[in-house]
Amino acid sequence: MVRAEDLLVRRLGPCEFPSPIGKTGSVKHGVGVDDRLLYDDRLSSLGEQVDRDGPLPSFEVAGAHEKIYFDPAKTRAGIVTCGGLCPGLNDVIRGLVMVLHHRYGVRAIEGYRYGYEGLNPAFGHEPMVLTPDLVESIHKDGGTILGSSRGQQPDDVMVKFLKERGVNILFTIGGDGTQRGALDLSTEARKQGMDLAVVGLPKTIDNDVRYVEQSFGFQTAFTRAHYAIETAHNEARASRKGVGLVKLMGRHSGFIAAYATLASNDVNYCLIPEVDVSLEGEGGFVEHLDKRLERRGHAVVVVAEGFGQSYVEAEGTDKSGNKKLGDIGPWMKDLISSKIPDASIKYVDPSYLIRGLPATPHDSVLCFRLAAYAVHAAMAGLTDMLVGKWHGRFLNVPIPAVSRQRQCVDPAGELWFSVLEATGQPRAWGAPQPV
Amino acid sequence: MVRAEDLLVRRLGPCEFPSPIGKTGSVKHGVGVDDRLLYDDRLSSLGEQVDRDGPLPSFEVAGAHEKIYFDPAKTRAGIVTCGGLCPGLNDVIRGLVMVLHHRYGVRAIEGYRYGYEGLNPAFGHEPMVLTPDLVESIHKDGGTILGSSRGQQPDDVMVKFLKERGVNILFTIGGDGTQRGALDLSTEARKQGMDLAVVGLPKTIDNDVRYVEQSFGFQTAFTRAHYAIETAHNEARASRKGVGLVKLMGRHSGFIAAYATLASNDVNYCLIPEVDVSLEGEGGFVEHLDKRLERRGHAVVVVAEGFGQSYVEAEGTDKSGNKKLGDIGPWMKDLISSKIPDASIKYVDPSYLIRGLPATPHDSVLCFRLAAYAVHAAMAGLTDMLVGKWHGRFLNVPIPAVSRQRQCVDPAGELWFSVLEATGQPRAWGAPQPV
Amino acid sequence: MVRAEDLLVRRLGPCEFPSPIGKTGSVKHGVGVDDRLLYDDRLSSLGEQVDRDGPLPSFEVAGAHEKIYFDPAKTRAGIVTCGGLCPGLNDVIRGLVMVLHHRYGVRAIEGYRYGYEGLNPAFGHEPMVLTPDLVESIHKDGGTILGSSRGQQPDDVMVKFLKERGVNILFTIGGDGTQRGALDLSTEARKQGMDLAVVGLPKTIDNDVRYVEQSFGFQTAFTRAHYAIETAHNEARASRKGVGLVKLMGRHSGFIAAYATLASNDVNYCLIPEVDVSLEGEGGFVEHLDKRLERRGHAVVVVAEGFGQSYVEAEGTDKSGNKKLGDIGPWMKDLISSKIPDASIKYVDPSYLIRGLPATPHDSVLCFRLAAYAVHAAMAGLTDMLVGKWHGRFLNVPIPAVSRQRQCVDPAGELWFSVLEATGQPRAWGAPQPV
Amino acid sequence: MVRAEDLLVRRLGPCEFPSPIGKTGSVKHGVGVDDRLLYDDRLSSLGEQVDRDGPLPSFEVAGAHEKIYFDPAKTRAGIVTCGGLCPGLNDVIRGLVMVLHHRYGVRAIEGYRYGYEGLNPAFGHEPMVLTPDLVESIHKDGGTILGSSRGQQPDDVMVKFLKERGVNILFTIGGDGTQRGALDLSTEARKQGMDLAVVGLPKTIDNDVRYVEQSFGFQTAFTRAHYAIETAHNEARASRKGVGLVKLMGRHSGFIAAYATLASNDVNYCLIPEVDVSLEGEGGFVEHLDKRLERRGHAVVVVAEGFGQSYVEAEGTDKSGNKKLGDIGPWMKDLISSKIPDASIKYVDPSYLIRGLPATPHDSVLCFRLAAYAVHAAMAGLTDMLVGKWHGRFLNVPIPAVSRQRQCVDPAGELWFSVLEATGQPRAWGAPQPV
C-alpha cells in the first residue's frame, strides 16, 4: 500500500534566491514542476481513490524552480560514485558538472574517489576538482573517472569530512545500498546541524530500483547482452543438437534477460529469478529442450544469474552487503550435458562486457537529463530523494519510498507475457515467485 | 480538448472464440487489458475532471483478450508497409507473422508489395506468402522486404482486391497519411459489407504521431544522427573558426534534432521547426555564433530540415501529399559563410543514413511488442485503430484521435528545456511557433 | 629450409577449356597469374640464393587463368566447413557460390552439413543445394549456414560419396587438421581414379596457418577482443589496485593477444604461448605487477589461452585431435589474488564472443577475394592446395608446405617488438619459447 | 623506372649514442633493420635484374637501431598535422609521444596548431606541450587535437621558428603536398645549417600515396562507406526501380569505392577515376542499368568523387593546391533520372562521415606501429623520408620517391578484377585511364 505521505520529498527550507535559469515550463501536458502526478492512473481505481479520506498518492514532478535554496556563488557540491560499474556513470558526472557550472554558476565542484572511501580521510584519497574542461570528453570512456568501491563508511566521519570542506550538496550515484547509505549520512548531517542536500541518482544495471522505470545504462547493458545471445545462437546453429547457453546479470530481477530475449528474436528459453521453472521431470525444462533439439536441431537458453539459487550453493555477502550468488551458469551447463549427452553446449558469460563500455546515445540522453534534474532538485534544497521516472515522466522520489521494495519483472504482467510470446516457452511453467 | 468518446476504439462485433493464449495478466500496477488509463494524470486536473459531467477521457489498454473475434483457423491476414523507410520495418513484419502463426495459429498471412500499390491489381505486384521461415532473419536487414511506396490507391479497388482474396485483417504500417488512408479503406470495406479489421502500426521516423510517445526506429535514427554530429564536432575542432553544420530529418517536429543534440553533448545550437529564431540582427543566431567562434574557436550547429522554411522556397507536394521543403542546409551554410567569411564550415547531411540500416536492439524490442499488440487487437476484432504508447504503457488508440494533430516538441516543455540546458543557446530566442 | 619443389602446386591435367572470364591482368607490379613470387625477398639473401644450384623457392601467384580444366557446364562443386566458428565463414560460402555461378556458369553447387560428417552417409545429413538466391544475405549472420563439426571421417567413405554424386571440386574451409584431412581425401580419390580438385580455404581464428599472413576473421576477432580489453581497463581503473585480466583465444600462437594489445593502448602485460615469462620470483611478472599497482593504481593483463600450460593440467584431446588446454585464466586470477591480496581483480573471458558474429567489412573483402581465388584455382584443375597470402599477395600454396609448421609470433621479430613498445613490459622476460 | 639510388634514405650523420631500447630483432624472415627488401620480387624479373649493371632497387627496412643519432636527453621533437581529417590522427600523435617519452626518454615534445600555420608565428598559435598524460585517451576521439589546415607557410619563417625553439626532429603527418612541403622545409633547414630530422607519416584517406600499401584510416573509411552502401541498397530494394546512388571520396584514386564495393556484396556498378566508362549510348552504363532495373527491380551505383570530371565543371584549386572537383554525384543523379524517368533514385553522400570518427582497432594498430617506426627513424638521424609499407613490411622511403607518382587502382590488376567479379559490371567498359 502506497500512502500519499510516503511520496512527499523533504526540503531543507524555503527558497529565497532567484534561479538564474527560471523554471521548467508547464503548458498543457508537459507536466510542470509545480504539479504532481498520480501514482495510480487507472480509470478503474479512480472511484475508490477519490472516495476515500485523504489525498491521493502522487509524485512531485522533477524540474527547475523559480526560486532556489542555495546561493550558487557560495555553493560547494560533491559527487560520489559507488558500487559496480554501469554504462553512463561518466555521462552523469559530466552532466552534473556542466549544469552546475554553466546553468547555475556554481564554481566549487569536487569528486570523491573510490565511493564512500573518498569521504573517509583514513583512506587518504584526495578529492578531484571537477571543471567543465576536465569532464568535457569523459563520457566517451566507460567506467567512472572517480573510481568506485562497495560498502559504507562511518556516517559521522563522512559528515565531519563534508562539513570541514564546506560542502552544501552531495550527489550520490549508486544503487539501493548506496542510497540507503546516503539517507543515513543525511540524517547524521541534520543531527550535526549541517545544511546538506543529499540527492541520489539511481544506478542499477539490473534495473531493479522501484519508481525508476528504466535506469541509465540498462539499455546499453541489454544491447550488449543481445550480441552475446546472437553469438550463442550462431554457435548453436552450427552444431548438431547445439545449445547456446548465455548467463546474464540479474541478481533479483530478470530485466536484462527479458529485454535481451525480446531484442534477439532467437531465444527459446528465458529463465529469471522471478519465475520458478521445473527443470527436470515431466513437462519440465530439460524434457522440453530435448524435444526441441530433436525437432529443430538447436536451441538458445538465457539464464539470469539469480535464477535457480536453490540448486547452487554460496555463502556470505559481498562488501555491499549483497548475498553472494552460486554460479548457475556452469550448473545449467552440467545439467544439460548430463541429461542430453549428445547436445553440443556453447556456454557464454559476457559478465563485465555488458557494463564496462560507454553508454549508447539513448542512455547518454537519459544520463544528462537525470543529472540536470538532480541539480535542479538540489539547488532548490530538496534532499533525501532521488530522481526517478514513473509513467514516462521524471520525478523527485523520497529515498525511503524507493528502498522499501525492489523492482522486479511481474510474472503476471505484460513484459513477461511478451517474453513468453517471443520464446514460445510454456506459460504454465512455475508459479510466480515471491519477490 | 480531448473528449472521452474520441478515445473509444471501434469493434467489429462481440468476441466468441476462446483465445489460444489467454489474456494479458493484470496484477497490481501492470495495467490489464480490461482496464483504461487516464488521459490526464496530473493531480491538479483531477478536481476539475471528476466534477464535470460525463466520463473522463481515457485510453483502452493494449493486450491479449480472453475471447477473440476471428477464428484463427479461418483467418487471412495481410500486411502492407507504406511511405519512407524507417529502422525496424522488418522487425515489425517479422513480429506480426510470428505472433499470428505461433501464438494464434493463423496460417494464411500475406504481404503486399510496394505499399498500397500492392493492393491495386493494376500494378501487377503479386502478394508474398509470409511464413515464419521466410521472415526468420529479415530483421538483420534494414528496409522492408515488402517494399514501399507513397500515396493512396482507390479505396474501392483495394477493398475489392482484399475481398476477393478473403482477407479478414489488414495491418497498415505507415505514418499519418497511411493511417488516414487505412481509415478510408476501412470505411469503404464496411460500406461493402466486408468484415475487415484494420489495425495500424504507426511508423514515423520524425516521432511526430500523437499518442505515440516514441515511435519505433526513432532511437535508431537519433543514434545514427549522433554520430553525424560527433563527426561534425571533430571537423569543427580541427579548424580555426571551424563550424560543423548538420542537417537532420524533421519536417514538422524536431525530435531527432533534439535527442541527437542531447546525446552528443557537443552541440551549441539546435534549430527546430517548432522554435523560431532570429538568425540575423542584434542578439540573433549569427552574432551569437560569431562571438562563440571568437571565444572558443569552433561550434556545432544542428538544424532540422523543417526549420526556417520562410527563408527557402519550394513548391508542390510529394506523392504522400507532404508539402515539399526547401533545403535549409545549404542555405544556412551560405548564410554563415557570407556573414562570417573566415569561418571554416563543414556541412554534413546524413540523409538516408539515419534510416536505412537495421534497428538497434531497443527498437527491435519495441517493434516486436507493437506487433504483438497489433495482432491481439486485430484478433479481438478491434479496428480503425493503431497501437500507441502514452505515459509508458501500450494502448489501443482510434486513428481519428491520432490524425487530428501532429506530435511536436513543446517549446515550453521539459524536453526543449533540456536542449537549452545542454546547448546553452539563449532561451529568449523566438517565441514558440504555432504548430 | 624451404625448397623450391615444396612450393609447386599439383595439377589434375592440362587446361583445355577457354575461361569465360579470361585471366587476371598483369601489368607492371600487379604480379600476374603466370608469374612466381620469391619466397625470400631480402637483398642480403639474394647473393647466396642465385649462386646455388637449382631454382629459387617461389610461390605460384593466385588468379584466373586463360584456359581452365573443367567444363563449367558439367562441373559439380561441393563446399564443406569444418572445426570451430570463425567470422566470415558465410562470406566465404557466399563468395564461392557467387563466383562459381555468375563468373564461370557452374550450376551444380552443393554444401555438406556439419563438416566432414556431411560426406559420410551414415549421418544422414542431406546436402544443401546452394544458389545465389539462397546465399545472397547469409554474410549478415555469423556462423556457417552449413554447420560444422570437428574431426575426420573415413576417406574411402567420403570419396565414394563424392564419386556417386559426380563431384569434381571440393572446397574445404577449415584449419590445419581439416586441410590435412583434405589431402588424405584427395590422395584416396586419386587412388580410386577420381578426377577431383581439392582446394582449401584456410580458416584459423588464431592466425596460425603458415603462408597465410592474416587469416579471414582474424581482424574481426581482435577487434572484438579489443573491446573486452577496453572493458577490463575501465573496470581496473575504477578500483583501487584494480587489475583487469583478460583471457583471449590463442592455443599455440598469440596473434589475437598481440594485435588486441596493440589496438588497445591500455595493456600493461601481454602473455602469449611463444614467450616464456617468469611469473614469480625477483623481477618476475607478479613483482612487476605489484610495483605497477603501487605506482599507478591499476593494470591490465592479457593472457592467451595457450600461455603457461606448464602450470595448469589438462588431459586428452578434442575431436579435432587438438590437445586439451588447462584453463590458464582462473589460474592467473588465483595467482594474482594470492600474491597481491588487496588487488581487486576483474576477470573477463570473452570466449565465443570474439568469433560468433559477422565479419567486419575488411574481413568481408578478404573472404570474397579468397573465395574467388579458390574458384579460379579449382576451375584450372589445381589441387591439394590452399589460397595463401605472402608479402601482401594472394598465392596458391601446396597443403603439405603449410602443414609442416605452425605460424607463430616471432619473439625476435618486429610484431613482438611493437607489443613490448606498447606495453612497456620488460624485454628481458624469458627466452623465446620453442614452437 | 625505379633506380636503386632513388630508394636510399638520407641520414644526418653517423649514430653515436647507444639506443636505450636496442634494435629490432631479425631472425629468419622477420626482416631486420639492417636489411634491405627487393623492390621487385617476381621470379621472372630476377634474371634481367641481376644481369644488369649496378645494384637492384631495394628499400631500407624500418625499425629501431642499436645506435642513435640524437641524445634523447637533449632532443626536442615537434609534431604537426596537415590537410583534411583522417581516422587515426590522434592515434599517431599518441603513438609518437608514447614511444618518444617511454621508450627513448625524450621529454621535450610539442605539437603545432592548425598545420603549418602553427610554425608561422604570424598566426599566433601557441604550441601545445605534449605529455603521455595529455595524450592518453585522445585516440578515442576522431579528428586531431592539434588542429589542421591546408597549404604551406614560408620555409624560412618555419625554419627560423624551429631553430629558435631548438627543435631537432619534426614529424609531419599529412599527404602528398604536406610531405613535399616537409622536404622543402628540410632543404631550407640544411641551408641554414640546422640539424633537423624531418620524418613524415603519410596520411591519405584516398590511399593514394605510393609505397604505402594501405594508409592509416583507410580501413576505417571504407568500413563506414560500406554502411552508406548498405543503406542505399536497402533504400533501392524498397522501391520499384529503386536506384541507390552513393558518392564516395576518391579524388584521383578509387580505392575507397573499390574496397567498399568488395565489402558490400550489393554493388552493381562501381565507377572510379582510373577507369573510363561510356555512360550513354549502346552498351553504356545507362542502358545496362536500365536493363538491370527491368530484370531485377533495383540497383546500387557507387561513384568516386573524381570519376567523370569531363562531365562536370569546376575551376580553381583549394588551399592545398588540389584542383577543385566538379560534383559528380548530383550530376549522375540527374543523368539517371533524365534517362530512366521512372527510376526512384536515393542519393547518399556520406562525405565527412567516413573520416571524422575514431579509427577502427585495426587502424589503431597501424597508427601505433607507424608512429613507432617514425620515432626509430628520427632518433637514428634519418630524414627526408616517410614510413611506408611494401609487400607487407614497414619501410623507410625517401619522400622524393613517393611524391613522383600517385598510387592508383590498376585497371589491369587483381584488385579491379575482384571488383568486376563482385559487381558483374562489364569488363569491356572503357580502356584504363591514364593516371
Enumerate residues 6+ apart whose C-beta is below 8 A from C364.
C88, C91, C139, D226, D262, D263, D264, D265
For β-strands A242-248 and A298-304, DSSP reports them as parallel
Question: Coil, strand or helix: which one is C359?
Answer: coil
- Share above pLDDT 70 across residues of chain C, in percent, rounded to a whole number: 95
Q: Which amino acid, one-letter code, is at C59?
A: F
Domain harbouring D309, CATH code: 3.40.50.460
pLDDT at position C225, please? 97
pLDDT at residue D433 in the model: 39
Nearest chain B CA: its distance from D228 CA (Å) = 6
Touching chains, B (3+ CB pairs < 8 A)? A, C, D
Which chain D residues are closer than 8 Å to A141 by Cβ?
Answer: 137, 140
Q: Among A43-57, B167-181, D398-412, whose mean pLDDT is lowest?
A: A43-57
D26 neighbourhood in chain C, CB within 8 Å = 412-413
Measured between beta carbons, the chain C residues lying within 8 angstroms of B140 are 137, 140-141
Which residues of A lie closer than 8 Å to C, measured between beta carbons?
85, 114, 117, 141-144, 147-149, 227-228, 230-235, 237-240, 346-353, 355-357
Q: Which of A155, A176, A206, A208 is catalytic?
A: A206
CA C8 to chain centre: 21
Residue D127 · residue D110 · CB < 8 Å: yes
Say if CB A123 and CB C213 are below 8 A apart. Answer: no
Is B114 within 8 Å of D239 when comparing Cβ atoms?
A: yes
Which chains have 3 or more CB–CB distances shorter than 8 Å to chain A? B, C, D
Show residues of chain D in contact with B357, CB under 8 Å.
227, 230-231, 234
Q: Indicate if B196 and B239 belong to the same structural domain.
A: no
pLDDT at C27: 42
Q: Shortest CB distance from A391 goes to which of B41, B418, B422? A: B41
In this prediction the pTM is 0.95
pLDDT band at B323 (very low <50, low <70, confident <90, very high): confident
Do residue D35 and residue C43 have CB atoms under 8 angstroms apart? yes
Cell of B88: 525496424
Q: Which of C91, C155, C206, C384 is catalytic?
A: C206
pLDDT the model gives residue A25: 57
Is D417 close to C36, i.e. CB distance below 8 A? no
Q: Which of D91, D155, D206, D384 is catalytic?
A: D206
Residue B103 to residue A421, Cβ atoms within 8 A: yes
For residue C172, how far is the Cα from the chain centroid? 13
Please tell me the distance from the alpha carbon of residue A94 to that of residue A138, in angstroms, as a whole number: 7
* Residue A19 included in any domain: yes
Closest approach of B36 to chain A, Cα-based (Å): 5
Residue in chain C lying closest to B137 (CA) = C141
A175 Cβ contact list (under 8 Å, min separation 6)? A82, A83, A202, A203, A204, A209, A320
Q: Name the residue among C144, C238, C356 with its Cβ closest to that of A148.
A: C238
The band of D29, judged by pLDDT with boundaries at 50, 70 and 90, is very low
Is there a single domain that holds both residue C210 and residue C228?
Answer: no
Q: How far apart are CA B246 and CA B305, in angstroms?
A: 10
D166-204 pLDDT tens trace? 999 999 999 999 999 999 999 999 999 999 999 999 999
pLDDT at B186: 98
Instruction: Report how far residue A26's alpha carbon sits from residue B48's, in angstroms, rounded to the nearest whole number.
Output: 18
Looking at the structure, do residues C318 and C226 belong to the same domain, yes or no?
A: yes
Interatomic CA distance for residues A212 and A202, integer angstroms: 8
Q: Is residue D203 part of a domain?
A: yes
CB contact under 8 A, B351 and D348: yes
- Does residue B33 sit within a domain? no
Is the domain of A211 the same as that of A340? no
Across the interface, do A356 and C239 touch by the CB < 8 Å criterion?
no
Domain of residue D301 covers 218-354+411-423
Q: Evaluate if residue C44 carries a pLDDT over 60.
A: yes
User: C379 CA to chain D: closest CA distance, Å?
Assistant: 15
Q: Which tens digit of pLDDT belongs to each residue from B329-369?
A: 999 999 999 999 999 999 999 999 999 999 999 999 999 99
Q: What is the mean pLDDT of chain B?
A: 92
Helices (H) and strands (E) in chain C, counts: 12, 17
Taking CB atoms and an 8 Å cutoff, what residues of chain D touch B231?
142, 352-353, 355-357
Confirm whether A265 is domain-assigned.
Answer: yes
Q: A191: domain CATH number?
A: 3.40.50.450
Q: What is the mean pLDDT of residues D230-257?
A: 97
- Cα–Cα distance measured from residue D402 to residue D395, given in angstroms and rounded to the nearest whole number: 12
Closest approach of A21 to chain B, Cα-based (Å):
9
Residue type for D138, please? Answer: I
Q: Is the same domain home to D73 and D127?
A: yes
> What secondary structure letter does DSSP report for B411?
T
For residues D207 and D222, state if they share a domain. no
**Smallest Cα distance from D350 to chain A, Å:** 20
> Do the Cβ atoms of B353 and D348 come within 8 Å?
yes
- Active-site residue C206, yes or no? yes
Angstroms from B262 CA to nearest CA on chain A: 5
User: Residues C115, C227: one domain?
Assistant: no
Q: Which residue has the higher pLDDT, B32 or B356?
A: B356
Any domain includes A34: yes
Round to the nearest angstrom and report the end-to-end CA distance of chain B.
Answer: 16
Alpha helices in B297-424 (DSSP H): 328-339, 361-379, 399-403, 414-423
**Banded model confidence at residue C319, pLDDT cuts 50, 70, 90:** confident
The values of phi and psi at residue D201, to 5°, are -120, 110
Q: Are residues D262 and D304 in the same domain?
A: yes
Query: Is C41 or C186 the better-scoring residue by pLDDT?
Result: C186
Let me know if A198 is exposed, middle or buried by CB neighbors in 10 A (0-12, 13-18, 19+). Answer: buried
CA of C125: which chain A residue's CA is closest? Answer: A240
pLDDT tens string for chain A (435 positions)? Answer: 789 999 999 999 999 999 998 877 544 444 567 789 999 998 887 766 555 567 889 999 999 999 999 999 999 999 999 999 999 999 999 999 999 999 999 999 999 999 999 999 999 999 999 999 999 999 999 999 999 999 999 999 999 999 999 999 999 999 999 999 999 999 999 999 999 999 999 999 999 999 999 999 999 999 999 999 999 999 999 999 999 999 999 999 999 999 999 998 899 999 999 998 999 988 899 999 999 999 999 999 999 999 999 999 788 887 777 788 999 999 999 999 999 999 999 999 999 999 999 999 999 999 999 999 999 999 999 999 999 999 999 999 999 999 888 999 998 888 999 999 999 998 777 544 333
Query: Which of B360, B411, B414 lies closest to A223 in CB terms?
Result: B360
Given a contact cutoff of 8 angstroms between Cβ atoms, the answer to whether B149 and B319 are in contact is: yes
The rounded percent of chain D whose pLDDT value lies above 90 is 83
The cell for D246 is 552513393
- For the annotated catalytic residues of B, the residue numbers are 206
Only one residue has cell 551414415, namely C122
Same structural domain, D89 and D169: yes
Q: Is the confidence at residue D391, as pLDDT, over 50? A: yes
Phi, psi of B257 (to 5 degrees): -60, -40
Count of domains observed in chain D: 2
What's the pLDDT band for C313 if we cut at 50, 70, 90?
A: confident
Report the range of poorest mean pLDDT among C17-26, C50-59, C102-111, D125-134.
C50-59
Segment holding B165, helix H or strand E: helix B155-165
> Which residues contact residue B124 at a Cβ distance below 8 angstroms, ignoring those fewer than 6 apart?
none
User: In this structure, is residue B299 part of a structural domain?
Assistant: yes
**Is C40 inside any structural domain?**
no
Q: Are residues A341 and A271 in the same domain?
A: yes
Q: Answer yes or no: do D30 and C421 touch at CB < 8 A.
A: no
Alpha-carbon gap: D265 to the closest alpha carbon of chain A (Å) = 21
Residue C21 lies in a domain: no
Look at residue C414 in the predicted model and tell me its pLDDT.
87
The DSSP output letter for D379 is: H
Please indicate, yes or no, whether residues C224 and C291 belong to a single structural domain of this protein: yes
- State residue C433's pLDDT score: 39
At D79, the pLDDT band (50, 70, 90 cuts) reads: very high
The span from the CA of A91 to the CA of A360, in Å, is 11
Average pLDDT over chain D, rounded to whole? 92
| Judgement on whether residues B180 and B233 belong to the same structural domain of the protein | no
Nearest to C58 by CA among C296, C360, C393: C393
Classify strands B36-38 and B393-398 as parallel, antiparallel or unpaired. unpaired
Q: Angle formed by the axes of helices A218-237 and A255-264, to 10°?
A: 50
Cell of D303: 561513384
D41 contacts on C by Cβ (under 8 Å): 37-38, 41, 391
Query: What pLDDT does residue A426 have?
Result: 87
Chain B residues inside the 8 Å CB shell of C140: 137, 140-141
How many alpha carbons lie under 13 Å from residue D196 in its C-beta half-sphere?
Answer: 32
